[in-house]
Amino acid sequence: MPSGTPAPDGATSSPFVFTYFFYWYDAYSGAHLHEADGLRQHFPPDPAPSYRSVAWFQRQFEDMASAGIDVVLPDYWGYGQDQRWSTEGLSYLALAKQEMLDARQPAPQVGMFFDTTIIGGRDLTTPAGKDFFYSNFKDFFSRIPRDQWALVDGRPVAFLFTSDRVAAFNQSTFDYVYAAFQRDFGVRPYIVREASWDYPILRWQAGAPVRDLAQPIQTDNSYLWGAALNGYVDRGGVAEIGPGYDDTLVPGRHGVVRQRDGGWWYQRNFEKALASGKTMLAIETWDEIHEGSAICETDEFGRQYLDLTRAFTDQFHHRAAPSVLRGVPP
């Protein structure tokens, strides 16, 4: 048993609904949209899905706003040349958001979803590792205008994906990020770690991380990834939910499925999240169509999950007790 426990995750001053947004698609080049990639769901053809399309970003933002989502978390893959969409896409995203702000159209504010897959086995306890880790926070928030930042209690919010690709990390990894961000931007970030970051990784042995369970990591909040497949789990301060999961078409995977059951799975997990009393809720995902976890408009489900989401986010924002929706199996 751990001799220490992670820092308690406190309630925020107001409720927030987040969603993870995968913007790597490009209808013009076919990037991430080839049927051979294993598409379980499909976007409507107009506007054409593309990280280079202001119109596509604006349609997604309009739909997010209509679904009651407060914060979009773009899936950021770093600033290297191998993933140009990651940085180039942010420029179109910010432009789309700015045009909507100028027109006084509702659109979510922008937080960061740091896809830590890109860490690639680095040791984040070394000076070079800490600098690399922080440089991604700096790059992302330098590309998003400050008036577009999503603020949790006045601080820009960043979610972390899992620590599966990290050789080692400890509290100094995060202390470095907090100090450097404060120095560069004049504000302390609000970091939401995935649960695999709860305890330091000292090293890996036989393919498994060796952790220091006596030294829990301190950040501002936490969540547990995997709700689209596994359902709501009462862990951390963020209520994580999803509509279902199916990656059986993705090449190279064993393939796992959580059926949507006509919306029943999503509703039941939303009800559990509402009953938890947590003030932060994250939807997994907006549009990961390869893994079949999208709630955005698709050819397969139309706007069904946008309507379901709005019904429950209204309850969440008003802190109302969950109610059963008609037309969804009990």
For tokens 């942010």, the residue is 90
Per-residue pLDDT of 292-324, as tens digits, reads 999 999 999 999 999 999 999 999 999 866 665
Q: Which fold has domain 16-317?
A: TIM Barrel (3.20.20)
Per-residue confidence (pLDDT) for residue 82, from 0 to 100: 79
Q: Please say whether the beta carbons of 78 and 285 come within 8 A.
A: no
Per-residue confidence (pLDDT) for residue 5, from 0 to 100: 62
Per-residue confidence (pLDDT) for residue 13, from 0 to 100: 80
Q: Stretch 269-281: mean pLDDT, rounded?
A: 96
Per-residue pLDDT of 121-135, as tens digits, reads 999 999 999 999 999
DSSP strand E in 65-207: where?
71-76, 109-110, 112-114, 151-152, 155-160, 190-194, 201-205
Q: Stretch 229-237: mean pLDDT, rounded?
A: 97
Other C-beta atoms closer than 10 Å to the C-beta of 81 total: 6
Per-residue pLDDT of 158-203, as tens digits, reads 999 999 999 999 999 999 999 999 999 999 999 999 999 999 999 9
Per-residue confidence (pLDDT) for residue 2, from 0 to 100: 47
Percentage of the chain modeled with pLDDT above 90: 91
Per-residue confidence (pLDDT) for residue 4, from 0 to 100: 67
Is the pLDDT assigned to residue 330 strictly greater than 50? no
CA distance 92 to 54: 6
Whole-prediction pTM: 0.95
Lowest mean pLDDT, pick from 11-15, 99-103, 147-151, 262-266 = 11-15
CA distance 64 to 47: 16
Q: Running DSSP on this structure, what letter comes out for residue 58?
A: H
Angle subtended at Cα 271 by Cα 268 and Cα 272, rounded to the nearest 5 degrees: 90
Cβ-based neighbours of 65, under 8 Å, separated by 6 or more: 105, 106, 107, 108
CA distance 312 to 17: 11
Closest CA to 185 of 134, 219, 109, 222: 134
Per-residue pLDDT of 80-104, as tens digits, reads 877 899 999 999 999 999 999 999 9
